[in-house]
Amino acid sequence: MFNIKIPDIEFWKGLVPCQIGCPVHTDAGRYVQLIADGKFEEAFLAARSPNPLASVCGRVCAAPCEDFCRRGKIDLPVTIRALKRYVTEKFGVESLVPDTLDELLNGNKNEVGNKWRWHIPLQLESRKSANRGKKIAVIGAGPAGVSCAHDLAMMGYSATVFEATNSAGGMLKHGIPEYRLSRSLINKEIEKVLSLGVEIKFNTPLNSEFGINELKASGYEAFFLSVGCQKGRDLNIEGSDLDGVIRAIDYLINMNNGYRVNLGRKVLIIGGGFVAFDAARTAIRALENEQSESIHSALDAARTAIRGGAVEVHIASLESFEEMPVLRTAQGFEEFEEAKKEGIIFHPQRGPKKFFGKEGKLKGIELIGVKRTYDDQGKFSPVFDESINEVFEFDSVILAIGQMADLSFINSDDGIKFTAANTILVDSETLATSARGIFAGGDVAFGPRNIIDAVANGKRAALSIDDYLRNLTPQRYFKLDIEKISTRNYKRPEDFEQFSRESAPTIELNRRTGISEVELGFNNEQANMQAERCLACHIQTIYDAEKCVMCNRCVDICPEYCLQLIPLEKLNLEEEQKEKLIKHYNLDLLQPISAMIKDDETCIRCGLCALRCPTDAMTMEVFYYEEHELF
């Protein structure tokens, strides 16, 4: 094992792309490989170690790890999120094996895969000190706040969460429809955090009269602001004040809290992100249930109405299908396909020009064309085409065009600065605000983001609060552990490179009503096959030039054509690099000299090159790395 300094981070950054892609650096590749090996408890520990909301993320994470998955460069990425759900259902909070998690939280399970500073329990041991006696206030019980309180409790602090509503979870509970995320699952995750000693004060919003100064007077010494963005944005166009024009966040919060919202029979959602899709798919269910008082009649009437076009839910987006945020990832594409199955009608490259109505009530909308949504630099800069003009009648329009934070609880004497976008200004590394001892993260600091980004912010804030209260400036370093594999014993599943991506199974369309969960978990056979698609990025093919006899056998057998022996002069090298190579290998320039090059992105770690090599010049080695601190 040897240490790597921070400036050398590029050396290992590409070793396990899915882990780098995850904001909390979950070693997804490791738990996927452990699932393939049937080591489910170890897989759960690798998934849960960095993420207190692992079970939730197994259902609704946007899965940025899949965007980085190297398998996606060959065909389609591994279904990492669905595999996380699979293993958390076996050993997570909803499973019959709760002792596994308890042992992890109590520090009795140290072998949990690759570790970074906030991975428990090993990486928090250096910071843990029982009952430090410092009071910390976390404002908001959403994913960022809950994650921060979780890690603070793990480090021995007394963390109190102040929540404005009567339940914890933030937009997990108030914004995400129950057909995507079970409320009982959220509650179980929250209960596990509470079991660590975290206190949540419900129905306790901060405001101009009860704010940060009052909490300081009560003995709180550090703060994490994580109130989220729960205010929808409006459209500043004619008719936007008509009855029937609704903000998506308001609609979802009302529906998810059991309040009925009468949408009528034809609904348009404006927007192209996940909130727009949640609103549209919730509207489909709401319209179904308005058709009849009996569930059976509601199903029959809704299915007949959708087929006959009497009940319609549409989505209009400025983006084309190619630009639509939801469609940029494998997860989003699957969400899009499910929405199409449910009968939602799409109008890409259309923007709202004006709403029209009668006697203050919405009757319809005028849409215009959109030539492009983003400029050449990828910035949002829509160009409209008024030669395309369409008029539609709708009973309701739901605006899913963005959210913003309510920061009215922050007083001028708090010393907290804001950005031009009306978010809290923070240091991107520490999440410190302009006010000493006050940190902020999640949507309130960065605008609407993915759940896993909020979790990462909460965990980052917990470390920063600990640094602040203990007056620490820790130095980070990494340990890289290399394990050689016996080439003769190295095996991959037969034809694993030909296995196709399989999405998580879903329930039949005729059962998709109300809160029925649409996406289901993998069975054992499905999970095993999907896990075996992993290309095992921890494993590296190592080439020893001293042993190579340039027989070219490794090149000939490579199924992905990612190896090649070429003359040295064909390499695009700086003279200084070339001289170092000549000196290191004592090369005779009068003799033919070859170099081995490899396209690592297309390598599938099949091991055939190492198996074929007659001199053991090609070997397979496993790279693991850990992040540590020096205080």
DSSP secondary structure string for all residues of 528-577: HHHHTT---TTEEEEE-TTT-----HHHHH-TT--EEEEEGGGS---HHH
Side chain identity at 351, as an amino acid letter? G
**498 to 128, 556, 610: CA distances (angstroms):** 47, 20, 21
Task: Please compute the mean of the pLDDT values over residues 123-143 and round it to a whole number.
Answer: 80
Highest mean pLDDT among 178-187, 308-317, 396-405: 178-187
Extents of the domains making up the chain:
231-404, 539-626
Which residues pair with residue 357 across a beta bridge? 362
- pLDDT score at 87: 93
pLDDT top residue among 133 and 416: 416
For residue 133, name the pLDDT band (cuts at 50, 70, 90). confident
Contact 339, 277 (CB under 8 A): yes
Position 269 confidence tier, pLDDT thresholds 50, 70, 90? confident
Nearest 10 degrees: Cα torsion 612, 617, 620, 624 = -170
Q: At what angle do helices 28-36 and 524-531 cross, to 10 degrees?
A: 120
Least confident span in 7-21, 70-84, 417-431: 7-21
Residue 310: per-residue pLDDT: 33
Q: Residue 530 is which amino acid? A: Q
93, 55 in Cβ contact below 8 A? yes
- What is the widest separation between alpha-carbon atoms in the chain? 92
pLDDT class of 402 with cuts at 50, 70, 90: confident
- What SS3 class is residue 204? coil
pLDDT digits (tens, 9 = 90+) for 320-340: 877 766 666 666 677 777 777
The pLDDT value recorded for residue 266 is 87
Q: What is the dihedral of CA 495, 76, 19, 457, to 10 degrees?
A: -150
Contact in structure between 63 and 450 (CB atoms under 8 Å): no
Q: What is d(CA 551, CA 549) in angstroms, rounded to the nearest whole number?
A: 6
- Rounded distance between C-alpha atoms, residue 510 and residue 518, angstroms: 11
Neighbours of 294 (CB within 10 A): 10
Parallel, antiparallel, or unpaired: how do β-strands 563-567 and 594-598 relate? antiparallel
Other C-beta atoms closer than 10 Å to the C-beta of 521 total: 19
Total-model pTM: 0.84
Closest CA to 387 of 369, 412, 360: 369
Question: At residue 292, does pLDDT exceed 60?
Answer: no
Q: Buried (b) or exposed (e) across 96-107, using 16+ Cβ within 10 A?
A: eeeebbeebbee
Helix (H, G, I), strand (E, B) or coil at 326: helix
Compute the radius of gyration of the chain from its Cα atoms. Answer: 27
Give the pLDDT confidence score for residue 305 in this predicted structure: 26
**Regarding the domain with residue range 231-404, which homologous superfamily does it belong to in the CATH classification?**
FAD/NAD(P)-binding domain (3.50.50.60)
Check whether 300 has a pLDDT greater than 90. no
pLDDT in tens, 574-624: 888 888 888 888 877 777 788 888 888 889 999 999 999 999 999 899 887
DSSP collapsed to 3 states, 338-358:
HHHHCCCEEEECEEEEEEEEE
pLDDT at 425: 94
Decide if 46 contacts 470 (C-beta within 8 A).
no
Which CATH number does 539-626 carry? 3.30.70.20
Least confident piece of the model among 364-373, 409-418, 504-513, 601-610: 504-513
**Could you give the 3-state DSSP secondary structure of residue 530?**
helix
Counting residues of the chain whose pLDDT is more than 70, the rounded percentage is 83
Are 355 and 238 spatial neighbours (Cβ–Cβ below 8 Å)?
A: yes
Q: Decide: helix, strand or coil at residue 85.
A: helix
pLDDT band at 448 (very low <50, low <70, confident <90, very high): confident
Spell 251-274 as b/e; 16+ CB within 10 A means b: bbbebbeeeeeebeebbbbbbbbb
Q: Is 590 exposed, middle or buried (0-12, 13-18, 19+ CB in 10 A)?
A: exposed
Mean of all residue pLDDT scores within the chain: 81
Q: How many CA atoms lie within 13 A of 399 on its CB side?
A: 22
- Burial class of residue 158, CB neighbours in 10 A (0-12, 13-18, 19+): middle
User: Which helix or strand (DSSP H or E) is residue 369 part of?
Assistant: strand 361-374
How confident is the model at residue 15, as a pLDDT?
A: 58
What is the C-alpha separation between 617 and 608, in angstroms, rounded?
13
Find out whether 504 and 519 touch, Cβ atoms under 8 Å: yes
- What is the predicted pLDDT for the residue at 302? 24
Instruction: With CA atoms as reference, report the closest residue to 531 among 173, 29, 17.
Output: 29
Tell me how far apart the alpha carbons of residues 494 and 440 are, in angstroms, rounded to a whole number: 49
Tokens of 403: 């959210």
**What average pLDDT does this structure show over 388-402?**
87
Q: 18: helix, coil or strand?
A: helix
Q: How far is it, in rounded angstroms, from Cα 262 to Cα 267?
A: 11
Q: In the predicted model, what is the mean pLDDT of residues 566-571?
A: 84
Question: In angstroms, how far is CA 302 from the centroid of its own chain?
Answer: 34
- Residue 124 CA neighbour count, 13 Å, CB half: 28
Residue with tokens 């992100």: 273
β-bridge mates for residue 395, sequence order: none
User: Mind listing the pLDDT tens digit for each residue in 470-509?
Assistant: 998 888 888 888 888 888 788 888 889 889 999 888 777 6
Question: pLDDT at position 73, please?
Answer: 86
> In a 10 Å sphere around its CB, with 0-12 CB exposed, 13-18 middle and 19+ buried, how is residue 182 labelled?
middle
Give counts: helices (H), strands (E), the chain: 22, 21
* Partners of 243 in the β-ladder: 361
Determine the 3-state secondary structure of 162 from DSSP. Answer: strand
Distance CA 607, CA 563 (A): 12
Q: At residue 5, does pLDDT exceed 50?
A: no
Residue 294 has a pLDDT of 30
Higher-confidence residue of 235 and 297: namely 235
The position carrying tokens 């914890």 is 168
For residue 370, pLDDT beyond 60: yes
Give 498-555 pLDDT, tens digit per residue. Answer: 899 998 887 776 666 656 677 788 999 999 999 999 999 888 888 888 898 889 999 9
